[in-house]
């Protein structure tokens, strides 16, 4: 039987940049975005009624700016420039397409008689797992955990429109509490779009908790983020977005401490994100005991 990742990216419609666009961004656009006075750029975005900027200012790293990037249909000119032409939103759309495919394949190849259970941490409205459930050739269901409930109504509407309302369950919680939330162990744990907002000392206990709730050989799916988008300074100063860049090797080393191994790495073509798929192989660390009063 062919491995689950055979020809994985074959017919995915990725967004790419021509050599001229890359050069133009590197030499002109990125330095301008990074070094123009932040106050002036913010004023321009406010004047242009950018929904993307507003979403980011209201909730840096939140789900709304992510959905705006995925849909790329904001009517505002400022958003058309930022979202359609920006390397980061393009890479986010690539990540969504690639991760949807990865998850669908993992679901198809899961060695289990009943519905495959996917646990989505920091799920937002669940756009990626819904893509995967719809693409997969065998039934799956998802538990979507997010600390904010404001994505849930949008997510439930999307699920209903796609005919999979019965397959998704939204739960409001901090992901660190995940042990207490589940009705059954997950076969796959998905942590996309969240690691880049969490420092190592927060991420590691979450990965350890994920390892504790998973059966042996369960898959974990996450993404690395690298500064190849070229506009980190712009995101920090203008969008209030402070992302943590990690190479796949750094993330794999951290996940190794939580008991995950055998990682496969799938890059999206802009070189900003990699999708990482690892397996829970060693026995996870026991849950730390809370001090008794
Ligand atoms: C950038 S969004 C990503 C949404 C989705 N995973 C995606 O990739 O499209 C990050 C989400 O993580 C959630 N989040 C951040 N910290 C969290 C925590 N400690 N527990 C649960 N959710 C959290 C935020 O509320 C937000 O909806």
Q: What is the pTM of this model?
A: 0.94
129-166 core/surface letters (b: 16 or more CB in 10 A; e: else): bbbbbeebeeebbbbbbbeeeebbebbbebbeeeebee
Pocket probe mutation, ligand 1, options 56, 72, 147, max atoms within 8 Å of Cβ: 147
* Closest approach atom of ligand 1 to CA 198: 16
State the Cα–Cα distance between residues 255 and 200, nearest whole angstrom. 10
Mean pLDDT of 240-264: 97
CATH 3.40.50.150 residue ranges in the chain? 90-280
State the Cα–Cα distance between residues 271 and 262, nearest whole angstrom. 22
284, pLDDT greater than 80: no
What's the 23 CA to ligand 1 centre distance in angstroms?
A: 33
CATH topology of domain 90-280: Rossmann fold (3.40.50)
Distance of CA 90 to the CA centre of its chain: 14
* Closest approach atom of ligand 1 to CA 65: 1
- Ligand 1, pocket residues at CB < 6 Å: 61-63, 66, 122-124, 127-128, 145-148, 151, 174-175, 192-194
292, pLDDT greater than 60: no
Task: Render pLDDT for 73-131 as a digit per residue (tens, 0 to 9).
Answer: 999 999 999 999 999 999 999 999 999 999 999 999 998 878 999 999 999 999 999 99
CA distances from 25 to 31, 45, 220 (A): 8, 19, 34
* Closest approach atom of ligand 1 to CA 99: 8
Nearest CA to ligand 1 atom 11: 122
Task: Render pLDDT for 4-17 as a digit per residue (tens, 0 to 9).
Answer: 999 999 899 999 99
């Amino acid at each position: 039987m062919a491995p689950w990742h055979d020809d994985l990216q074959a017919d995915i419609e990725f967004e790419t940049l021509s050599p001229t666009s890359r050069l133009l961004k590197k030499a002109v656009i990125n330095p301008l975005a990074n070094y123009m006075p932040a106050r002036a750029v913010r004023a321009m975005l406010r004047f242009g009624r950018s929904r993307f900027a507003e979403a980011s200012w209201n909730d840096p790293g939140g789900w709304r700016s992510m959905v705006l990037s995925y849909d790329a249909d904001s009517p505002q000119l400022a958003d058309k420039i930022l979202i359609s032409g920006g390397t980061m939103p393009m890479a986010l759309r690539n990540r969504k397409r690639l991760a949807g495919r990865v998850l669908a394949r993992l679901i198809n190849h899961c060695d289990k008689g009943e519905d495959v259970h996917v646990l989505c941490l920091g799920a937002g409205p669940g756009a990626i797992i819904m893509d995967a459930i719809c693409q997969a050739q065998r039934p799956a269901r998802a538990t979507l955990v997010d600390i904010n409930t404001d994505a849930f109504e949008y997510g439930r509407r999307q699920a209903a429109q796609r005919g999979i309302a019965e397959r998704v369950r939204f739960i409001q919680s901090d992901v660190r509490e995940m042990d207490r939330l589940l009705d059954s162990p997950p076969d796959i744990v998905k942590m996309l779009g969240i690691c880049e907002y969490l420092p190592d000392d927060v991420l590691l206990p979450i990965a350890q908790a994920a390892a504790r709730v998973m059966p042996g050989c369960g898959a974990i799916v996450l993404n690395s983020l690298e500064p190849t988008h070229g506009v980190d300074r712009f995101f920090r100063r203008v969008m209030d977005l402070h992302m943590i860049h990690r190479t796949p090797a750094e993330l794999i080393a951290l996940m190794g401490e939580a008991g995950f191994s055998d990682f496969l790495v799938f890059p999206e073509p802009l070189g900003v994100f990699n999708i990482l798929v690892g397996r829970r192989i060693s026995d996870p660390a026991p849950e730390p005991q809370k001090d008794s009063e």
